[in-house]
Amino acid sequence: MAVAKEQRAKSKATPWSYRKGTTLLHRLPAGLKLVFLLLLSLAVFFTGPELRGLVILGVIGLVLVILSFVARIGPLALLRGSRPLLLIVLAVFVVQGIRFSPPGFNTEGLWAALIYCLRIALAFSAGTLLFAVTTPGEIRKSINRLESFLRMEKLRLGLHFSLMLGFLPRFFEIWEELNLAYKSRSGKGLLPRLVTLIPILIERMMRKAVESAEAMESRGALL
């Protein structure tokens, strides 16, 4: 029982992890959720910086907030794990906005950076919501049914797509493990943390990819 509680607590803490539930979103077909949230994620990058575009982004954000309550997750949980990504994006735009001749700062570039961070946050939240209410196995089954309907089984899109999606939650699982180990060793500062952990993260992900490939090959599933 203690192990189960620990696993549930870890699932709630890890970004992009599945959360068991019986809500309406959990029961909806995986293909429908995938298409809807994928279109929602793409839509945030095709709105202009004018007022109408901001209104559309606001509507998308409101939709995600409502859906997060429907899934019994809450809007703040959708953004867990996005802080380093948003800070990096903002830092890049801030550096680009610095003028050396004449010395100054381009405030228009900062406004564009804030809007872009908002787009990233909304797309990140859509991905979090999808994986919180849908397992990679459910997504694979949904794509397999589409393959059978279109007679495209030989392409094995369901297998490839589910493997790709499965690596996204695994990325955050490894990051959370490394981040916790870094903090336990009194590591501080965002930049030193990224410099220290990113090479280890890449190595862990490459090792995981090799292990997955070997496991699939041993079962006769050639990718």
The pLDDT tens digits of the residues spanning 152-168 come to: 666 666 666 666 666 77
Is pLDDT of 7 > 60? no
pLDDT at 58: 92
| Gap between the Cα atoms of 5 and 7, Å rounded | 5
More confident residue, 95 or 127: 127
Identify residue 72 by its one-letter amino acid code.
R
Instruction: Say yes or no to pLDDT of 29 above 80.
Output: yes
* CB neighbour list of residue 84: distance below 8 Å, 6 or more residues apart: 190, 193, 194
Return the minimum-mean-pLDDT range out of 22-31, 43-52, 165-174, 194-203.
165-174
DSSP string, 97-144: HEEETTEEE-HHHHHHHHHHHHHHHHHHHHHHHHHHH--HHHHHHHHH
Average pLDDT over the chain, rounded to an integer: 78
Cβ neighbours of residue 126 closer than 8 Å, sequence gap 6 or more: 37, 38, 40, 41, 64
Which residues lie below 8 Å from residue 208, measured CB to CB, with a gap of 6+? 167, 170, 174
* CA angle in degrees (0–180, nearest 5) for 214-220-222: 70
CA distance 184 to 49: 42
Whole-number pLDDT of residue 153: 62
Q: Is 1's pLDDT higher than 60? A: no
3 band by pLDDT with thresholds 50, 70 and 90? very low
In the predicted structure, residue 67 carries a pLDDT above the cut 90: yes
123-157 residue pLDDT tens? 999 988 998 998 878 888 887 787 777 776 666 66
List, for residues 98-123, the tens digit of each pLDDT value: 776 677 766 666 777 788 888 989 99
Domain boundaries, the chain: 1-134, 153-223
> What is the predicted pLDDT for the residue at 41?
87
* Residues listed for the chain: 223
